[in-house]
Amino acid sequence: MAGMLAGLIIIVLLLLIRNFVLGSKLKKLRKSYTQFMSGSGVEGLETIIIELKERLQEQEELHRSLKKTVVSLSETMKKKKGNIGIHRYNAFAERGSDLSFSVAFINDDKDGMVMSGIHGRDNTFVYAKPVKEGQSAYTLTPEEIEAINLALLQDK
């Protein structure tokens, strides 16, 4: 009987030790939970999730708005007359040098203008022609076409 009593005492002591160990682990877990929830408690968890969902929806709306703005700016940038091509040449092959020129100001849609300056001994004449989709209502010289092609090559 004394052996049985000693065995029960050992089992009770082991259970008490286990109880203290589990209590310590539970205390650490409770501390971590309190820090995670920032003292809001289980009742506040639903409110936190709803607030996070609302913030996410606001961020998604802002993202869509910014995406529209970027697309709009991209389209606007394509329409700007930002590509420039310059072609210098000698308009009068028998004398002079490359003082004549054609300059094209073309956007990505091939719209813009081309200007040519024909330099002679006594005068320089400057002409401007509108360009729409790479063509003009006025006849383009080979030098003007070359300037347009040089401008179009710049964005590639």
Q: Could you report the per-residue pLDDT of 9-48, keeping only the tens digit for each? A: 889 899 999 999 999 999 999 888 777 766 555 566 778 8
87 touches 147 (CB < 8 A): yes
- Of 94, 129, 133, nearest to 110 (Cα)? 133
pLDDT at 156 over 60: no
98 touches 118 (CB < 8 A): no
> How far is 116 from 113, CA to CA, in rounded Å?
10
What tokens does 73 get? Answer: 């700016």
> How does the average pLDDT of the chain come out, rounded?
86
| Confidence category of residue 6, pLDDT binned at 50, 70, 90 | confident
- Section 88-105 average pLDDT: 84
- For the chain, what percent of residues have pLDDT higher than 90? 46
Residue type at 123? Answer: N
Residue type at 19? Answer: N
| Residue 72: CB atoms within 10 Å | 10
Q: What is the pTM of this model?
A: 0.52
- Of 121, 107, 117, nearest to 144 (Cα)? 117
114 touches 83 (CB < 8 A): no
Q: What pLDDT is recorded for position 42?
A: 59
